[in-house]
Amino acid sequence: MKLFGPLYDKVLTWAAHPKAPWYLGGLSFAESSFFPVPPDVMLAPMTLARPASAFRLATITTLTSVAGGLAGYAIGHFAFDAVATWMQSAGYWEAYIRVQTWFTEWGFWAILAAGFSPIPYKVFTIAAGALSMFLVPFVLASAIGRGARFFLVAYLIRWGGEPMEQRLRQNVEILGWIFVALLVLAYFILRH
């Protein structure tokens, strides 16, 4: 079943749209506080479509992700009771409990690692607010972690250029299903 090839082609079309940076910023903001799709899925094809803008796109993604992280922090700080039920039904509750423990032990480093890794960053932003983590270290760790991730993605895609795009296009189905498998694996690891 070919699922990811047509999606990839569609995202490349969107990436060339004049308002694509706005869409990227909106996706990045939303992903940091409540939305499940990571901004990398737009950042990578947009970098392929506009290699000269790679670092500008990574900057947009980073800044809007940190702003979305602040929104997640506010949700956790001011409205945790309202989102706790959603976190349970969305399967994030066990991850949230684990994140609480990580904050107690590592604080700043937990946010830094979450910003860079594929772990759901929104769980960390909401937990940071619910646990009233100091705001300056939260913003600093978010900026470093998210920035490192997005600039790395932009750099690698820009560096690989057209040959990278061709290889990515040839293997998009395999890579897509590997990504889905990794998400499922991460879900089970976080749950247990």
**Cβ atoms 33, 75 nearer than 8 A:** yes
142-165 CB burial, b ≥16 within 10 A, e <16: bbbbbbebbbebbeebbebeeebb
Q: Nearest 5°: phi and psi at 131?
A: -95, 5
CA distance 151 to 43: 10
Angle formed by the axes of helices 135-191 and 108-116, to 10°?
60
pLDDT at 8: 67
pLDDT at 156: 87
pLDDT one-digit tens code per residue, 60-94 = 999 999 999 999 999 999 988 888 888 788 777 88
Number of H helices and E strands in the chain, helices first, is: 8, 0
pLDDT at 55: 96
- Residue 107 φ/ψ region, left for φ over 0, alpha for ψ in the -120 to 50 degree band, beta for the rest: left
Instruction: Give the residue carrying structure tokens 């970098």.
Output: 47
CA distance 182 to 106: 25
Low-confidence ranges of the chain (pLDDT < 50): none
pLDDT at 182: 64
CA distance 20 to 39: 12
- The amino acid that residue 139 corresponds to is V
Quick one: CA dihedral 93, 148, 47, 33, positive or negative? positive
pLDDT at 189: 64
CA distance 12 to 191: 34
